[in-house]
Amino acid sequence: MKTWISSAFLSFIILCSTGCLARPYDPQKVEQVLNTAHALYKDTNAGTNADYIPALAKVDSSLFAIAIVTADGQVFTQGDIDATFSIQSISKVFTLALAMEQQGSAAIVDKIGVNATGLPFNSVAAIELNQDRSVNPLVNAGAMATVSLLEGDKAQQKWQSIATWYDQFAGRELAVMNEVYQSESATNGHNLAIAELLKSYDRFYGDVDMNLDIYTRQCSVGVTTKDLAMMASVLANGGTHPVTGEALMTAENVQRVLAVMATAGLYETSGDWAFQVGLPAKSGVGGGIIAVMPGKFAIAAFSPKLDEAGNSVRAQRAIDYIADKANANVFSHLD
């Protein structure tokens, strides 16, 4: 990944020395590193929009934004920060968090599984090749099963619990992007097949059509890059929202969610990401990525063009750059 920045790096005067995001935060230095990251990658054209969902194929591919929210509630942004896009698979992190808070982490291990599949996020083979079937809550199979585990027998009750939960993390009311929701609903035959396959193995825990619809709706929630950074900052702050002060998760459940993100957050490239960047992260095919440095800050970046695994190219590169400048790596002893 370092080859991403080698040539562009020489074209910029880096205004932030190593460790610029160490506490106490110097707002000017944080803004400088965000500005530099944005400038380095704003003209990157690699990748393509997700085209199997028609509404995502139409999103302006030039959009690019980065946000940081620290564990003490400071907010820093750069780029197209007001652009709203669909949260997509990043939603899986927060639905997993809700399921853990409702059911306990043992239920997730027993009924979903937490091992990475090493295969694409919508793989049917991953179900058949693994005896535990759904295997991981951050791929489509496990994410749909996680929705089916949530409390509530009726669609409105279950959906309201998800929507309220997301709003609490974002610190504001979010809304479903109806065009995306309709587009995904019209093209979700593959997910329906996955859900039915899980049901045949007794690894789906409710009505397939109802829970698939709720899952599709959660992926269609509209967010900004700042919203994502704010949501992820709860994980950086041990389960308490750093701005509202609301305690949303236990510290133990935060730890377990971050562990799943670290092993499966970027699908089959999660190992590469952990090796290079060293931050728990989660991507979505809408173009967003969140990354968390526990106890310090959360980063979110957004740009629609994706690599072959479904991860935003610009967002990966920007987060990698910022993490490097911040000495942010959960596997390192550095402050």
The stretches in the chain having pLDDT less than 70 are 1-25, 116-134, 333-335
Tell me, what's the pLDDT at 26? 83
Which residue type, as a one-letter code, is found at position 106? A
CA separation, residue 171 to residues 91, 259, 280, 294, 303 (Å): 15, 24, 22, 19, 23
Convert the pLDDT of each residue in 309-330 to its tens digit: 999 999 999 999 999 999 999 9
Tell me, what's the pLDDT at 7? 33
Convert the pLDDT of each residue in 205-253 to its tens digit: 999 999 999 999 999 999 999 999 999 999 999 999 999 999 999 999 9
Which residue type, as a one-letter code, is found at position 296? K
Cα 254 to chain centroid distance, Å, stands at 14
Residues 108-130: b if buried by 16+ CB within 10 A, e if exposed: beebbbbebbebbbbbeebbeeb
